[in-house]
Each structure stands twice: as structure tokens, then as C-alpha cells.
Amino acid sequence: MSLYGVMRTGVSGMSAQSNKLSTVSDNIANVNTTGYKRASTEFSSLILKSGSGNYDSGAVETTVRYAISDAGNYQFTTSATDLAVQGNGFFVVQDPNGNNFLTRAGAFVPDSTGNLVNAAGFQLMGYNIQNGAVPNTSANGFGNLQVINVNQMALQASPSTKATVAANLDPSAAFSAGPAGPANYTSKTSIVTYDNIGNAVTLDVYAKKTAANTWDMQVYNGATALPSSGPSTTFTFDVSSTGKGKLDLVGPPPSATSLTVAIPGGSAAFNIDLSAMTQVASSFDFKANVDGNAPSAVEKVNIDSKGVVTAVLKNGTPLPSFQIALATVPSPDRLTPEVGNVYSPNLDSGNVQVDVSGKSGLGTIQSGALEDSNVDLADELTSMIEAQRGFTANSKSFQTGADLLDVVVNLKR
């Protein structure tokens, strides 16, 4: 038996207990840190081969593990940009140098330039959907991601391209020949559209009954008729027991389902979808939902469970602009912790997989909520006492070995 081995074993024990105290201290210090994940110290024995008559003491080594996949409790706040992930996944954030990381710390606020940043200064990443397109995600990387900036949503004009109409034409109205217009119409309504720079353009829609169950519709800008594209501006209705006053798309004359005109000052064709229009025993009725908006400042920002960031302008127009990205890895507990309560993928964790909320096994996003630390203070205090007792006991074995070594040295005297 080696007395030096006894002391080295005692030293390894004290070092291991010190590591445990370090993780306990870190956990207690971050008990109120948003999205923090508890660290723990796991012990494993290091055994040396011994002969039949002697025992060579070994050592103990430690491995630090992180409970990253264990969710903390959720607390609700009054800020719409405070975010929490309910279920699997992490927010994708970026540091000032453009490096991407994963985090569950979702206390985001706009900085001086409008970028959403959390308490550690990391910028929230997402997909730009201002053109209305579905995000083009990169499943195994951070491609196509942009920093979410709420200032980009302000004072933006969006030209009108489509109106969805729910309308009814009165079947009891008298009919006469000739196209519909300001001087010859059965029913009239107006819709407000927007050109390229946000000017409001009022379009007048005239409907005129030209025959039984047949109507002509024309669109005017003031006194100027706007030529419509398509096969016809004639709308016919099927009043049979099967059609029940819906548009007749089969029999002659050919019946249109929409009107497409060019808005003065607009860059794209403006389509008025009339496929839901009817002719039933009721008075004239016309309701239209028109896209596009005039330039306006942002009044507030809403974020739904799918992570869609929508700016609500002061004129009441909702403007979906970004969709927040979520990411995961095959082994979240093996991610590498970095400064700022963020994590980076490595060989042990597996490659990062990126998508949006509710897809590819990812959770949903809760706006106005934050995820608390998953540290249990009572458990940590208990572990602290255990580590303290273990450290003391190991110091005693070291001291005993040192005392015995003194006895051996004194045998010469």
C-alpha cells in the first residue's frame, strides 16, 4: 500500500467535491436567470490494478452534465416580445460577429436600431415573410435567416393586389341592355385600394342586370373606366335546385369569377375575387377584404404561436413581416454552453435542425411569457451540504496519510 497513493486519492476526492460545489454555486447564482439550465456533477471511479496482497488506491473523476432538455416553469409578462418555447426547440440567436447560437432565454426587446435582442445582447433570427411567401427554410443549417427588426415594418407602403369579395345581387332588379357604368347601373359600391407609394385609390364597382340571371360588372376610377382582363365581365348565376343562386361556370355565356384591373400608380394587377358572389332573394350587398396599406408608424407588435411577427400599424393595418425560427439537435443535453446563456452544437449533440414553430417536431411559441431556470433551490442546498461533507472526509483521509508518512519518516530517528 502506498501512502502517497492515499494522499493522491484524497486530493482527487477533494477536487471532485470542489467541482460539485462549483456547479452547485453556479446553479444557485442563476436560479433567477431566464432560460438557464441546471448543471450537475457526475462521479466515476478510476481503479488501479492491484496485486493479490496489496491494494493500490485509485481516484475519482467527474463529468459535468447539463439538464438542457428539462423545461423550466413559465411566467407571464406584459411584453409581447417576451417569448418562451413550449415543447421542443430553441430560439436561434446571433452575436454581433454574426455567429449563430441556440437559447431558451427569450426576454427580447428592440434595441436602438429596432433589432430584437435578449438580455445578453444576442439578436433573434427568423425568416422574412414581408412578400407573403412561405419561409424557405434550410433544414440542416442557418441559411436564409435574418435578424428580426421591428423598425423595418414602419412607414412601408404596400400596393393592393387582391380583394376578396362576399356579395349578393338582387334577383328582382329590372334589367336593360348595355354595359354597366356611371350613367347606367343597377347597383354601385366602392372599394379603397392603395398604389405603390401608399396613396389611397377609390375604385367604383358598377353592376347592371342585362338579362335574367345575367349581370355586367365594370370598375371605374372616378369617371375613367378601367379595362379588365379575362374572358368576360359577364356574370351568370345558376338558380336551379343544385345551383341555388351561385355563379354558373358551365353554361353560356361564359361567366367570370373575378375582375382584374390596373390600379393607377400600382405596379401589379389588382384582382377582385368574386367567386363567392351569389344571386339570392335578398337586397344588394357587397363586402370586400382588400390587401395593401398606406404608410403608417408601428403602434404595436404581435407574435402568434407560429412565431409570425406582425406589426400593427397606427391605421389598424396588420403587417406580417417575419417568422421566428426554431432549432433543435438530436442530443440537446450535450450542447456546449457558451457565455450569455446560449449553446452551440458539437459532434456529441449532433447537427442542428432548423424549421418554424409546430413543424419537424418543434414546439410552439408563447408570446408574453418567459421560461424560468430549471434549478430547484432545495436540491442545490442539499447537494451543497453533501459536497461539503464529502470534501471534509477526503481532507481527513489526506491528513491521515500525511500523518502516517510522518511516522514512517520518524522511524529513522
Which long-range contacts (C-beta less than 8 Å, at least 24 apart) are formed by 43-47? 43/16, 46/12
For 336, the grid coordinates are 456546449
Return the axis-axis angle of helices 377-410 and 3-29, rounded to nearest 10°. Answer: 160
Q: How many CB atoms lie within 10 A of CB 299?
A: 13
Same domain, 174 and 80: no
Q: Which three cell numbers stand for residue 204?
A: 367604383
Q: Which residue has the cell 423545461?
A: 71
Phi-psi label, residue 301: left if phi above 0, alpha if psi -120 to 50, beta otherwise: beta
Rounded to a whole number, what is the distance in angstroms from the first to the last CA of the chain?
Answer: 23
Co-location of 178 and 249 in the same domain: yes
In this predicted structure, what is the pLDDT of residue 323? 94
Query: What residue type is 248 in one-letter code?
Result: D
Query: Are residues 124 and 30 both part of a single domain?
Result: no
Out of 235, 258, 290, pick the residue that ends a domain: 290
Q: What is the pLDDT along the chain (413 residues), one digit of tens a residue?
A: 577 777 888 888 888 889 999 999 999 999 999 999 999 998 888 777 766 667 777 788 889 999 999 999 999 999 999 999 999 999 999 999 999 999 999 999 999 888 999 989 999 999 998 877 767 777 778 888 999 998 776 677 788 999 999 999 999 999 888 888 898 999 999 999 999 888 999 999 999 999 998 999 999 998 888 877 655 688 889 888 888 999 887 655 555 788 889 888 877 789 999 989 999 999 999 999 998 888 877 888 899 999 999 888 887 778 888 999 999 999 999 999 999 999 999 999 999 999 999 888 999 999 999 999 999 999 999 999 999 998 898 888 888 877 788 777 788 76
Distance of CA 179 to the CA centre of its chain: 50
Q: What is the pTM of this model?
A: 0.69
Residue 115 and residue 103 share a domain: yes
167 and 286 in a common domain: yes
3-state secondary structure of 152: helix
CA-CA distances (angstroms) from residue 88 to 36, 141, 329, 350, 357? 15, 17, 10, 15, 10
Percentage of the chain beyond pLDDT 70 is: 95
322: left (phi over 0), alpha (psi -120 to 50) or beta: beta
Say if residues 271 and 132 touch (Cβ distance below 8 Å).
no
162-168 and 269-273 as β-strands: parallel, antiparallel, unpaired? parallel
Question: Do 78 and 65 belong to one domain?
Answer: no
Cα 92 off chain centre by: 9
Q: How far apart are CA 164 and CA 289, in angstroms?
A: 5
- For residue 143, which amino acid is it? G
367 and 405 belong to one structural domain: no
> Domain containing 138: what range?
74-156+296-371
The secondary structure of residue 70, as a DSSP letter, is S
Listed residue (77, 78, 84, 119) closest to 104, CA to CA: 84
Please name which of 386, 392, 327 lies closest in space to residue 43, comparing C-alpha atoms.
386
Query: Residue type for 184, please?
Result: N
Residue 235, beta-bridge partner list: 215
Burial readout 65-80 (b: 16 or more C-beta within 10 A, e: otherwise): ebbbeebbeeeeeeee
Give strand pairing partners of 61. 44
184 and 255 belong to one structural domain: yes
φ, ψ for residue 391 (rounded to 5)? -60, -45
Domain boundary among 250, 275, 290: 290
- 395 with 334, same domain: the answer is no
Which of 290, 321, 337 finishes a domain? 290
Residues 278 and 169 both lie in one domain: yes
Alpha helices in 312-413 (DSSP H): 377-410
380 close to 3: Cβ distance less than 8 angstroms:
no
Residue type, 335: L
Q: Which residue shows C-alpha cell 435578424?
A: 147
Q: Are 37 and 372 in contact (CB under 8 A)?
A: no
State whether 187 and 265 are in the same domain.
yes
**CATH code assigned at 239:** 2.60.98.20
Q: Which cell is 278 given?
A: 351569389
pLDDT recorded at residue 230: 59
Give the count of domains, the chain: 3
**CA triplet 146, 112, 74: central angle to 5 degrees?**
70
217 and 118, same structural domain? no
Q: Is the peptide bond before 253 cis (omega within 30 degrees of 0)?
A: yes
pLDDT value for 1: 52
